[in-house]
Amino acid sequence: MNFARTMIDTVLSVRDLRTEFATDKGVVRAVNGVSFAMRRGERMAIVGESGSGKSAMAMSLIRLLVHPGKVVNGEVWLQGRDIMTMSESELNDVRGNEIGTVFQDPMSSLDPVMKVRDQMVPPIMRHLSLDRARAEAAAVAWLDKVGIPDAARRIDAFPFEMSGGMRQRVMIAMALSCQPKLIIADEPTTALDVTIQAQIVELLRTLTAETGTAMLFITHDLGLVSRFARTVAVMYAGKIVEIGPTRDVFGNPKHPYTQSLLSAIPRGADGGRSRLVQIPGFPPDMRQEILGCAFKDRCLGAEQRCGEAAPPLSARGPSHDAACWQPNGLDAGSLAQMRKTTDRAARPDVEALPPHDILETNNLSKHFVRGSMLPWRKPVVVRALNGVSLRVRRGETLGIVGESGCGKSTVARLLLELDAPTTGEIFIQGTAQMVFQDPSSSFNPKMRVQDIISEPLDINGRGSKADRAEKVRTLIRQVGLDPSYLERYPSQLSGGQRQRVAVARALALDPTVVVADEPTSALDVSVRAQIINLLCDLKDELGISFVFISHDLSTVRYISDWIAVMYLGEVVEYGPAEEVFRAPAHPYTRALLDAAPVLDPSAEDDRPVSIIKGELPSPLDIPRGCGFATRCPHVSELCRTEKPILVQRQPNRKEACHHVG
C-alpha cells in the first residue's frame, strides 16, 4: 500500500525516522525508528528525559540538524510531500510557510539589532506574495492576535525592549503569520513564569483551535502536557515507548518508564517528609548497541526476555500503544514498591534541639541607582526590594515564589552579602551558602570535582591538606556520589551529578543556611526528584535550613515548610506552606495557583484557567497604592490610592490586601 496515499488526509506522517551524530567517540544514534502521524488541529506533546531524542527528532522533521547530525533513514510526509526528498530551495519554501517553529529562547532566534517589523514583514511578503503595506498590516494583526498591547507601536520595538513573555509572543506570531499547517514548539515555555506559561499555553490552544494548525509540543513539564496536549508520545533512548490520548497515557500508563516519570512528580505539601520516587540508574549510552529493551537496566519489572529482544509498540487500547512485554507495564507489586513513601527520621541529636530562628530579615530594602552619561538627565532609582521581613527556623525550608522581577533573587544576593541592603537588617546565626540554577556556569571547567569542592576550604584555610581531602571525600558521599567522581571534570558529569557537586561545595564550610535559587528548574523530572530528595535528606540529617527560590509551584509546595509570596519587591502573603496552597488569601497568590497546571488532563479540561491580565509593573514606576492594583480582578479605588500593609489576621498567616479580613 502506498504510504503517502494512505496518509494524505493527515498533516504530518513520520515513518521509521533515524538520526545519527558522528563524533570522535563513536556514532550517537539519537533517533531510532520513530513513527507517528498528526491530523489537522491536533496538539501532540513529546516528553522524555534529556538525551531521549526529542529535539533531535523535531529538528530532523524539517532537516535543521546541526552538523554532524544526519538523517540516515525514514520518511516525513507533509500532506503528501516527502520532506526527506526535497531540495534546499524547496525546503526554504516549506520552512516558515508550511511549517513554523517556536524555540525555547526567543532571544537566540530573534535578531537583537533588528526591529520586530523587519523580522516579521519580509517572510510574510515572500511566502504569502503580499506587498509591503498588506504584509505590515498582517504582521500587526498577528501581534494583536497573540496579545501584544499596542501592536501598531510595538512592531517597531527591538527584542531587548520587550519582556520574556512578550518576546515569546512575537515568536508565536512569526510562526503563525504565514498560516502554516504545522508548528513545532521546542520547550517554548521553560524559562517563563507560571503566569506567563499559562498565557502562552492558553494562547497556543486557542490559536490551534481557530486556525486548524497542528502543533508538536516538546517539553519536560508534564503538567503543561496535561493542560495543552490531546496526544502524548513518551520517548526513551531515541524511540517512542508509549503513545496515545493524554487522558489514557496519564490516567493509565502502560510502560514502566511512563509510570516512573509520573510517579516522580511532587504532589501536595509535606515539607519533604516523604521521599519522591527516583528512577534508578541513567539512560543508556547511545553510542553503544542496545540489546533488548533500552529501559531494562532501570526497570523494576525487567525479566530475561527484556534483555533478549526489544518489545515493539503494540496496542493497549483505542489509539493507545506501548512498547513493553508486559501488557500493563509494572505489576501491582512493583508499582507499590516504586511508589512506597518512607518517612524521614531525623537524627536523635538533631531532633532533640528545639527549633529557633536561624535567619531573620527586618524591613529589608534594596534600591539600585542607574546613572546617565547625559549630565542633564537625572539618575533613576530601581526599587527592587521594599521592606521585606522574613524568618527561617532551624531545620526548616522557606519557599519564595513570585514572577520574574518580584525581587526573589535580590533577596538571595542580600542574604549572601553579594549586595548590601539600602535599609533594613539581616541576622544569620552561622553562615549562608548558595546553590545556583546552573552549576556549569559557576564551575571552572578546567578544575576537577575534587578541586571544585575543596576550593572554599582552601581559601579559608580549613585544616591541613589531609584534613581537607578527607572532608571532600565525606562531602561527595554525603550528596550520594562515589569518591571516584572526584577525579572527573564537570563536562564528564550529568546535569544531576553537577548539581550534587554544587550542593557538596555549598556544604564545605558547614553553613547553617543554604540559599537555593532555582536549583531544579533546568532538570528533568527524574533528576529533579533526586535533587529534592537530597536537599530534604540533608535538612533532616544535618539540621540545615533552606531558602528555596523557584517558579515551580509543585516543587515549592512539596519541599517547603513556609511560603513567602513576593510581588514587586514586597511580601504579599506569608504562612505555612500547606495552608497557603490550600486556602490562598491574596488575589495574586490565588492567580499564581490557578495558573499552575495540574497532572490530570480530565481536571484541566473542566478547569477554567484564570490568567492574570497585563504584566508586572516596572520597579522604576511602582503604582501609588497596591502594586497588584493594575492587574487585580477585585481592584477598588482604595487599592489604587492606599498601599496595603502586611498584617497578621490569623495565627501564622500574613497578607497585604484591602479585601482580606
**Domain 352-431+511-528+537-661 belongs to what topology?**
Rossmann fold (3.40.50)
pLDDT band for position 205 (50/70/90)? confident
Burial class (CB within 10 angstroms; exposed 0-12, middle 13-18, buried 19+) of 135 = buried
pLDDT of residue 420: 94
Q: Compute the average pLDDT of residues 389-397.
A: 93
pLDDT confidence of residue 230: 93
Class of domain 10-229: alpha beta
Which range has the top average pLDDT, 23-27, 95-99, 213-217? 213-217
Q: In what order do the strands lie in the sheet with 320-322?
A: 99-102, 182-186, 214-218, 43-47, 231-236, 239-245, 320-322, 314-317
**Distance (Å, rounded) from C-alpha 182 to C-alpha 320?**
23
State the CB neighbour count (10 A cutoff) for residue 171.
26
* pLDDT exceeds 90 at position 347: no
Kindly state the average pLDDT of the residues 476-493.
88
For the cut 60, the answer to whether the pLDDT of residue 650 exceeds it is yes
pLDDT category at 277 given cuts 50, 70, 90 is confident
Partners of 547 in beta bridges: 398, 515
Domain assignments of the chain as residue spans, ordered by start: 10-229, 249-265+278-339, 352-431+511-528+537-661, 435-510
Identical fold, 10-229 and 352-431+511-528+537-661 = yes
DSSP class of 304: G
Greater confidence (201 vs 577) lies with 577
Contacts of 43 (CB under 8 A, 6+ apart): 204, 205, 208, 214, 215, 217, 228, 229, 230, 231
d(CA 38, CA 278): 33
Confidence of residue 355 (pLDDT cuts 50, 70, 90): low
643 compared with 66, residue with greater pLDDT:
643
pTM: 0.85
d(CA 543, CA 622): 39
652 against 235, higher pLDDT: 235
SS3 of residue 393 by DSSP: strand
Is it the case that residue 581 has pLDDT exceeding 90?
yes
Reduce the DSSP state of residue 189 to 3 states and report it.
coil
The Cα–Cα gap between 65 and 58 comes to: 9
Mark residue 177 as left, alpha or beta (left: phi above 0; alpha: psi -120 to 50; beta: remaining): alpha
28 residue type, one letter: V
Contacts of 374 (CB under 8 A, 6+ apart): none
pLDDT value, residue 610: 64
Q: Is the pLDDT of residue 26 over 50?
A: yes
Whether the predicted pLDDT of 346 surpasses 60: no
With b for 16 or more beta-carbon neighbours within 10 A and e for fewer, the 108-123 pattern comes to: ebbeeeebbbebbbeb
Tell me the per-residue pLDDT of 423-454, one tens digit each, with 9 for 90 and over: 999 999 999 999 987 777 789 999 999 999 99
Average pLDDT over the chain, rounded to whole? 87
- Alpha carbon distance, N-terminus to C-terminus of the chain: 70
- pLDDT of 438 reads 76
C-alpha pair distances (Å), 351 with each of 45, 354, 387, 576: 45, 7, 33, 20
